[in-house]
């Protein structure tokens, strides 16, 4: 347990305060130790007793870290009286003492009252002072005063103190910085149950500020409590590291060839084996993964990309045979016996030719059109649409559509009658001729010479090819799918182009079929041209054979070539650079839903600007949802500025080549060897060396930038 | 009214066989004595190729010396059917649509 109490009274400075607030240093320490409080601030009313503070600080050294402070009476901007706590770095306790004297010297604590401006002046004289204002309880300042204060001081230095632990949870849940202290009234009844626990162990005041900078919730509540997971990681030498990682950023850093990638992947695999959903990013696979966006599923049928097209199978070309003509013998035999039977000549039907029968699809099509009109007519008749048209307009519309309906029905009826009457007449003629032939033992007159049927059979093939070619001349279609962003004005999309085989078609659009399809298309053209050649049956059979040779048999959709490219802002084709591919793949990984994100050198090939402005917010969003980020990095921006809960420094022992792992975080300067607790390194110094290139390089850069 | 080209057809007797001879580009002959479907189909294709370009009428010219032959009747009846079917093709909506 690592509890923090930033609101302790050691003296009753006001006349109305209970004397039980007065405490000796021994009781102070023992009480706090019993309550497992590791950090405490002394905040007496309107007074900072520097001598008592030094005495307590000295007495508590290495046991409880004491922060100097004061609880001030403030006259707010709306004339209200409120209380705030002002804390500062113990190193600045003399400044606190001297600056406070300006406003309190010679004034009894009961009568001290600072204006908001005076409070802010006091704050400005103290480096990185923290202000904690009463909130949702007595002695609360007005919202106007609180806004005034928050406009001047950074958010991470301004906390609110509610009355209860429950209120604190609500406050933190809404993203406000909050803390709660004991405000101890009686040291014999120290309210240890009300004291919050810090999310992370820290060493000093500056690390408290760091923690606040990283996360507005510096203390645990039921809602924001970080979870942890202990993972066993297999090292290249066969040993096992057991490491505890948190639902936050966990950094692995160190020199080259120290096993960082293996380490983070080992942690990732540990999560996977425990059933967690893990997303991994590896910059070396970014190009390969990027190319996956351009993969096309060639087993899919893309005919629906073109509206109103039937995916006609080329099987219609199989088994073609010409309609056989009527033999001359039939005419000869008929004429040979025509005068043999006089009765035969009396029946006119014996000399009639077949009528031309219409295609049944014509009347079917006309009837379908009529059905659609009727359906609309019925629908329109029962709906008044009075929101859109007047009653008169509705009546007119019904009349017009009614006329169309009647005309359409008549047309389909005539077509139907024509079709069936021709068919019945032909049946009649054939029946009479057959009957006459049987009765008179003479040959019937041929109904036709077969020319029209011969023409029709071939012409149907011509029409089929004509329609296929018409379909294949349709304009290409394009689909765009967003991939990611290259800055605010550059969006990357995949452009999928669907087009029928043409002179510009490329191999990649038809990976296995292009040559065959070109042959088939060419053969179709030949067949169409030779529709009335003697060679036609051979040509059409060759077309059928070519069509069978293509997997899954050729249909119209087989001629749709598919090609995917990247495009910027849906315009020209764009080939992302290797660095851009990495950016996209990293963004893609971070935007996926997972429990754990394993990122291997995410900064590789990326600008620091992109890392800070695009990657940072995504990672912060992830960890705010209590998810795990495990990251190997050489970037100081990522390793340090993200203020990771866990930092693992990887090093190779120069003596025996063993892989060493030191565990720590920015809030504690010590990093401890996982296998040897005595072996420690300093966090700041190690980061400076490994991530910044050493202290000198870091300082020199600062001088060059003129920021030091 | 579109102009119809006239094709003359005549019955000829050569090498003991009867033919209808058409004054087409290749002076096409249809053998009436040997009944070969492929030969008829070839004749059809020949006819349809020319027919695709323009509308024409077939006029059968009887010859005095073969007037009494049964093959003269066969030729007349056959050409009558041929003309009717050519006309059916020419007036077919599909043919009208795509030519």
Residues A272-287: tens digit of each pLDDT = 999 999 999 999 998 8
Within 8 A of A466 by CB-CB distance, chain B residues are 98
Residues 6+ away with beta carbon under 8 Å from A151: none
What are the structure tokens assigned to A571, written together? 């315009």
What are the strands, taking DSSP E only, across A181-227?
A: none
Q: What is the pLDDT of residue A66?
A: 95
Q: Are residues A61 and A143 in the same domain?
A: yes
Average pLDDT (A585-602) is: 92
| Residue carrying the six token digits 């001088």 | A703
Domain count, chain A: 4
Q: Are residues A125 and A21 in the same domain?
A: yes
**What is the C-alpha separation between A96 and A100, in angstroms, rounded?**
6
pLDDT tens digits for range A351-409:
777 777 777 778 888 999 999 999 999 999 999 888 899 999 999 999 999 999 999 99
Q: What is the pLDDT of residue A198?
A: 79
Distances (CA, A) of A630 to A158, A247, A255, A556, A620: 31, 9, 17, 51, 13
Q: Residue A224 — pLDDT band, cuts 50, 70, 90?
A: low
**What is the C-alpha separation between A628 and A594, in angstroms, rounded?**
9
Q: Are residues A675 and A623 in the same domain?
A: yes
Residue ending a domain, choose from A188, A218, A248: A218
Q: Residue B1 — pLDDT band, cuts 50, 70, 90?
A: very low
* Nearest CA distance, B1 vs chain A (angstrom): 22
Q: What is the pLDDT of residue A342?
A: 63
Q: Are residues A309 and A431 in the same domain?
A: no
What are the strands, taking DSSP E only, across A277-366?
A: 278-281
* Nearest CA distance, A433 vs chain B (angstrom): 17
In a domain, A124, yes or no: yes
What are the structure tokens assigned to A408, written together? 């359409």
Q: Where are the alpha helices (DSSP H) in A383-513?
A: 391-440, 451-472
Looking at residue A82, the DSSP 8-state letter turns out to be E
The answer to whether residues A649 and A681 touch, using CB atoms and an 8 Å cutoff, is yes
Q: Are residues A108 and A136 in the same domain?
A: yes
Pairing assessment for the beta strands A249-254 and A240-246 based on DSSP bridges: unpaired
Highest mean pLDDT among A221-235, A248-262, B51-65: A248-262
Per-residue HEC secondary structure of A103-147 comes to HHCCCCHHHCCEEHHHHHHHHHHCCCCEEEEECCCCCCCCHHHHH
Q: Are residues A263 and A349 in the same domain?
A: no
**What is the C-alpha separation between A658 and A105, in angstroms, rounded?**
63
Contact (CB<8Å) B82/A449:
yes
Q: Nearest to residue B79, comparing CAs of B32, B35, B39, B46?
A: B32
Q: Are residues A163 and A273 in the same domain?
A: no
| CATH code for position A33 | 3.20.20.140
Residue A236 has pLDDT above 90, yes or no: no
Q: Residue A499 — pLDDT band, cuts 50, 70, 90?
A: very high
Average pLDDT (A133-142) is: 87
pLDDT tens digits for range A649-682:
998 888 887 888 999 877 777 889 988 889 999 8
In a domain, A634, yes or no: yes
Task: Compute the half-sphere exposure of residue A435: CA atoms within 13 Å on the CB side of its CA.
Answer: 10
**What is the C-alpha separation between A622 and A628, in angstroms, rounded?**
8
Q: What is the pLDDT of residue A166?
A: 67
Residues 6+ away with beta carbon under 8 Å from A247: A226, A227, A228, A623, A626, A627, A628
Q: Are residues A617 and A483 in the same domain?
A: no
Residues 6+ away with beta carbon under 8 Å from A88: A67, A68, A69, A95, A96, A126, A127, A128, A129, A130, A205
Q: Are residues A60 and A192 in the same domain?
A: yes
A324 closest CB neighbour out of B37, B49, B88: B37
Quick check: helix, strand or coil at residue A304? helix
* Nearest CA distance, A422 vs chain B (angstrom): 14
What are the structure tokens assigned to A414, written together? 């005539």
In a domain, A293, yes or no: no
Q: What is the pLDDT of residue B4?
A: 66
Q: Which of A202-211, A522-531, B36-45, B46-55 has the lowest mean pLDDT?
A: B46-55
Q: Where are the alpha helices (DSSP H) in A489-614?
A: 514-529, 536-549, 578-591, 608-610
In a domain, A459, yes or no: no
Q: What is the pLDDT of residue A476?
A: 94
In a domain, A287, yes or no: no
Percent with pLDDT over 70 in chain A: 94
Q: Residue A488 — pLDDT band, cuts 50, 70, 90?
A: low
Q: Are residues A113 and A167 in the same domain?
A: yes
Within 8 A of A320 by CB-CB distance, chain B residues are none
Q: Where are the alpha helices (DSSP H) in A473-535?
A: 514-529
Within 8 A of A533 by CB-CB distance, chain B residues are 45, 49
Look at A609 and A43; give whichever has higher pLDDT: A43
In a domain, A92, yes or no: yes
Residue ending a domain, choose from A449, A478, A495: A449
Average pLDDT (B69-85) is: 91
Task: Compute the half-sphere exposure of residue A239: CA atoms within 13 Å on the CB side of its CA.
Answer: 12
Residue ending a domain, choose from A568, A602, A627: A568
Residue A120 has pLDDT above 90, yes or no: yes
Q: Are residues A553 and A633 in the same domain?
A: no
Domain residue limits at A63: 3-218
Contact (CB<8Å) B88/A356:
yes
Rg for chain B, CA atoms, rounded = 14
Within 8 A of A329 by CB-CB distance, chain B residues are 35
Average pLDDT (A417-427) is: 87
Pairing assessment for the beta strands A3-8 and B56-61 based on DSSP bridges: unpaired
Q: Are residues A131 and A172 in the same domain?
A: yes
**What is the C-alpha separation between A200 and A203, in angstroms, rounded?**
10
Average pLDDT (A423-442) is: 78
- Is the pTM above the cut of 0.80? no
Q: Which of A46-50, A188-192, A528-532, A693-697 has the lowest mean pLDDT?
A: A693-697
In a domain, A659, yes or no: yes
At residue A569, what are phi and psi to the nearest 5 degrees? 50, 35
At residue A231, what are phi and psi to the nearest 5 degrees? -120, 140
In a domain, A455, yes or no: no
Q: Average pLDDT, whole number, for chain A?
A: 87
Residues of B at the A interface, defined by Cβ within 8 angstroms: 30, 32, 35, 37, 40-42, 44-45, 47-49, 52, 70-71, 73-74, 77-78, 81-82, 84-86, 88-89, 92, 94-95, 98
What are the respective helix, strand and coil percentages of chain A, to the nearest 5? Answer: 45, 20, 35
Residues 6+ away with beta carbon under 8 Å from B61: B8, B9, B10
**What is the C-alpha separation between A614 and A487, in angstroms, rounded?**
9
Contact (CB<8Å) A332/B40:
no
What are the respective helix, strand and coil percentages of chain B, to the nearest 5? Answer: 45, 25, 25
Q: Residue A576 — pLDDT band, cuts 50, 70, 90?
A: confident
Residue A534 has pLDDT above 70, yes or no: yes
Q: What is the pLDDT of residue B69?
A: 86
Quick check: helix, strand or coil at residue A334? helix
The answer to whether residues A555 and A568 touch, using CB atoms and an 8 Å cutoff, is no
Residue A165 has pLDDT above 80, yes or no: no
């Amino acid at each position: 347990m690592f509890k923090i109490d930033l609101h302790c009274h050691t003296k009753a400075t006001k006349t109305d305060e209970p004397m039980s607030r007065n405490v000796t240093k021994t009781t102070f320490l023992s009480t706090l130790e019993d309550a497992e409080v590791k950090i405490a601030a002394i905040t007496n009313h309107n007074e900072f007793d520097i001598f008592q503070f030094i005495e307590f600080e000295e007495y508590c050294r290495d046991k409880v870290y004491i922060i100097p402070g004061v609880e001030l009476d403030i006259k707010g901007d709306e004339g209200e009286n409120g209380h705030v706590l002002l804390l500062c770095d113990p190193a600045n306790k003399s400044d606190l003492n001297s600056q406070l004297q300006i406003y309190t010297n010679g004034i009894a604590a009961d009568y001290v009252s600072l204006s908001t401006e005076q409070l802010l002046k006091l704050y400005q004289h103290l480096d990185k002072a923290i202000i904690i204002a009463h909130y949702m309880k007595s002695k609360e300042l007005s919202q106007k005063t609180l806004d005034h204060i928050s406009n001047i001081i950074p958010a991470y230095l301004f906390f609110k103190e509610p009355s209860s632990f429950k209120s604190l949870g609500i406050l933190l849940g809404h993203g406000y910085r909050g803390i709660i202290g004991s405000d101890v009234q009686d040291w014999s009844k120290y309210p240890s149950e009300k004291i919050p626990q810090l999310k992370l162990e820290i060493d000093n005041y500056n690390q408290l500020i760091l923690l606040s900078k990283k996360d507005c919730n510096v203390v645990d509540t039921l809602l924001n409590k970080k979870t942890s997971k202990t993972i066993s990681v297999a090292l290249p030498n066969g040993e096992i590291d057991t490491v505890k990682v948190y639902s936050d950023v966990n950094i692995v850093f160190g020199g080259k060839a120290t096993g960082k990638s293996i380490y983070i992947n080992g942690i990732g695999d540990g999560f996977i084996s425990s059933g967690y959903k893990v997303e991994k990013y590896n910059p070396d696979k970014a190009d390969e993964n990027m190319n996956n966006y351009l993969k096309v599923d060639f087993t899919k049928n893309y005919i629906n990309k073109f509206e109103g097209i039937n995916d006609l199978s080329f099987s219609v070309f199989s088994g073609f045979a010409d309609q056989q003509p009527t033999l001359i013998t039939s005419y000869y035999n008929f004429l040979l016996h025509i005068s043999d039977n006089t009765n035969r000549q009396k029946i006119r039907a014996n000399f009639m030719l077949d009528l031309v029968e219409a295609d049944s699809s014509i009347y079917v099509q006309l009837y379908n059109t009529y059905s659609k009109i009727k359906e609309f007519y019925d629908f329109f008749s029962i709906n008044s649409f009075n929101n859109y048209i007047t009653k008169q307009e509705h009546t007119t519309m019904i009349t017009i559509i009614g006329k169309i309906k009647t005309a359409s029905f008549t047309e389909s009826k005539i077509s139907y009658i024509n079709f069936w009457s021709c068919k019945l007449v032909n049946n009649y003629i054939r029946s009479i001729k057959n009957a006459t032939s049987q009765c008179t033992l003479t040959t019937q007159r041929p109904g036709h010479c077969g020319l029209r049927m011969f023409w029709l059979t071939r012409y149907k093939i011509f029409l089929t090819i004509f329609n296929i070619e018409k379909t294949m001349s349709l304009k290409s279609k394009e689909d765009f799918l967003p991939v990611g962003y290259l800055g605010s004005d550059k969006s990357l999309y995949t452009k999928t182009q669907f087009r029928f085989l043409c002179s510009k078609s490329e191999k990649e659009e038809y990976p296995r079929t292009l040559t065959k399809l070109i042959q088939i298309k060419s053969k179709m053209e030949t067949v169409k041209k030779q529709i009335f050649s003697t060679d036609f049956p051979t040509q059409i059979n060759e077309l059928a054979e070519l069509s069978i040779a293509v997997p899954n048999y050729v249909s119209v959709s087989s001629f749709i070539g598919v090609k995917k490219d990247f495009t910027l802002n849906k315009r020209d084709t764009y080939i992302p650079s290797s660095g851009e591919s990495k950016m996209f793949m990293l963004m893609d990984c971070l935007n996926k839903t997972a429990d754990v994100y394993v990122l291997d050198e995410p900064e590789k090939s990326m600008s620091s600007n992109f890392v800070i402005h695009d990657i940072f917010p995504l990672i912060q969003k992830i960890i705010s949802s209590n998810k795990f980020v495990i990251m190997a990095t050489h970037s100081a921006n990522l390793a340090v500025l993200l203020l990771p809960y866990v930092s693992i420094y990887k090093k190779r022992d120069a003596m025996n080549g063993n892989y060493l792992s030191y565990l720590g975080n920015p809030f504690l300067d010590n990093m401890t060897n996982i296998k040897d607790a005595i072996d420690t390194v300093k966090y700041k110094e190690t980061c400076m060396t490994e991530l910044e290139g050493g202290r000198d390089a870091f300082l020199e850069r600062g001088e060059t930038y003129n920021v030091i | 009214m579109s102009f119809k080209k006239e094709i003359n057809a005549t019955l000829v007797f050569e090498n003991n066989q009867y033919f209808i001879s058409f004054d087409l580009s290749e002076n096409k002959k249809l053998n009436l004595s040997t009944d070969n479907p492929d030969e008829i189909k070839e004749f059809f294709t020949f006819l349809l190729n020319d027919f695709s370009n323009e509308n024409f009428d077939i006029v059968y010219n009887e010859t005095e010396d073969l007037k009494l032959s049964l093959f003269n009747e066969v030729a007349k009846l056959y050409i009558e059917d041929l003309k009717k079917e050519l006309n059916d093709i020419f007036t077919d909506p599909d043919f009208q649509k795509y030519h």
